[in-house]
Amino acid sequence: MIPHLLGYFRQPLRCYQSLAARHGQPFSVPFPLGGRMAVTGCPLHIGRIFKGGTGLYRSVDASAGMFYGDNSMLSLDGEAHAAMRRALMVPVLRNPAIAARLMREAAVREVSGQKAGAPFDMLDTARSITLDVILQTVFGVLDDAERKEFVQAIQALQGSIGFFAVFVKGLRRDWGPWSPWGRFLRARGRCYALIEGRMAAVRAGGEGRGDSVLEHWLSLRDEAGQPLLSDGQIRDNLLTMLFAGHDSTAVALAWALYWTHREPGVLIALLDELEGYAQRGDIGSLDDTPYLDAVCREALRVHPVAPGVARRLEAPLQLGEYLVPAGDVVMACIDLVSHDPAIYADPQRFMPERFLERGYGHSEFIPFGGGERRCPGAALAFMEMRVVLATLVCRFRFRLLERRALDAVWSHGIRRPESGVRMVLEGRRI
């Protein structure tokens, strides 16, 4: 178990490729939270995993609620999960035109604050942009003081999640504010207090722009005219959105900007396609930009934010010749399928054109997972990648400081570029 875990955490892709070469797919490894896990990057198996119905799976970690709150869609299973998703699945992009405008403004504001000629970390900049966007999407407009408080509270919560507490349940105990779990609980309490304050303000004064996720959830009613969601359900799921909704998008954006500036041909082709957007600045010019889409898809393919998505089985599941027993975990391995040379020729190379030359199936391109737990923020995240990337390359000239191949390292439960993507702002294009 230990050598597997060490190899996995250092280089998940290499570890899984060597196990797949030795044992075929799916192959089985010990699962840190109990039992074994059948891992597969075969599109046929992945399709089968994603087709499994509501009753087939339960959470891989029964105590997930300890992190996100018991009402979070991340903590629920089976029918309770399906019902919560039905209630909560407002299109996060309720008004795409407004969302795109705020994404563009957030991108310009953040980068305009950089000093020309001084090195900066593009991942940090992307995080500020995506945090701003998700806060405005979830809560509507916040004043500067409120925004600052939310940003500090979310960053403190993120910084408080210890690596070991994720995998060692015994460490999830409150031994005071200096203990790892105690620090986490207090940081989460601060976020709860801010969210509850915002809910009260919206209720009391109708504060808000009218199109925020919070306002929508507060307005939902059941057949008897009673609120559909309790305060606890709204609070836990708002925190889930804030948490799940910014870091992963920032990482994907940072990788897209890294490759765009590492491969000069990619930047040239992108600027060529985006000429209309650069001249007019209207979001409508981004409606038909296949190369921009392909760059974003390729960044998600080469560097999946999560190595795979896992489900614990309630009933046995046949994957090829292997019957995975109930109680074990199955993983649709994003890393393996994204780097399968039979699907993506020369998989280590960043080649956006591959997405122009052919389409990829739902089980071949899975950066957002699939089935009933597919990422509910996928449309928002993809749109944000497109708008922010297009805006930054059209408005600003950047130089990449580290041209070497960057590894991905674990951070706060996802993987990010090891040194954050160091860049220099060389000037403005427009």
Instruction: Point out the annotated binding site.
Output: 375
Measured CA to CA, the distance from residue 228 to residue 224 in angstroms comes to 9
Please state the closest distance from residue 57 (CB atom) to ligand HEM, in A.
10
CA 76 to chain CA centroid, Å, is: 19
Q: Which of 15, 195, 309, 319 binds ligand HEM (CB under 6 A)?
A: 309
Nearer Cβ to ligand HEM (40/183): 40
Residue ranges in 101-160 that form contacts with ligand HEM under rule CB under 6 A = none
Cα 160 from Cα 191, distance rounded (Å): 12
Beta strands in 288-421 (DSSP E): 308-313, 317-319, 322-324, 329-333, 396-400, 408-411, 414-417
Q: Using CA atoms, how far apart are residues 12 and 62, in angstroms rounded to an integer?
A: 24
Contacts (Cβ under 8 Å, ≥6 apart) of 50: 332, 362, 363, 369, 370, 371, 374
The residues in 213-242 that bind ligand HEM, with binding defined as CB under 6 A, are 240-241
Burial class (CB in 10 A: 0-12, 13-18, 19+), 103: buried
Q: Does position 258 bind ligand HEM by CB under 6 A?
A: no
For the CA atoms of 33, 174, 412, 135, what is the dihedral angle to 10 degrees? 130
The answer to the question of residue 417 lying near ligand HEM (CB under 6 A) is: no
307 is a contact residue toward ligand HEM (CB under 6 A): no
**In this chain, which of 37, 60, 73, 266 binds ligand HEM, going by CB under 6 A?**
73
**Annotation: binding site for heme:** 375
Under the binding rule (CB under 6 A), the answer on residue 377 touching ligand HEM is: yes
Size, binding site for ligand HEM by CB under 6 A? 26
- For position 306 contacting ligand HEM by CB under 6 A, the verdict is yes
85 versus 412: smaller Cβ distance to ligand HEM = 85
Q: Among residues 138, 184, 173, 193, which one has the least CA distance to residue 412?
A: 184
CA distances from 280 to 277, 353, 390 (A): 5, 26, 13
Task: Evaluate whether 376 touches 89 at the Cβ level (below 8 Å).
Answer: yes
CB of 193 to ligand HEM, least distance (A): 21
71 lines the binding site for ligand HEM (CB under 6 A): no
| Sites for ligand HEM among residues 378-397 (CB under 6 A) | 380-381
Among 26, 369, 417, 420, binds ligand HEM (CB under 6 A): 369
| Footprint of ligand HEM (CB under 6 A) | 73-74, 85, 92, 240-241, 244-245, 248-249, 252, 305-306, 309, 367-371, 373-377, 380-381
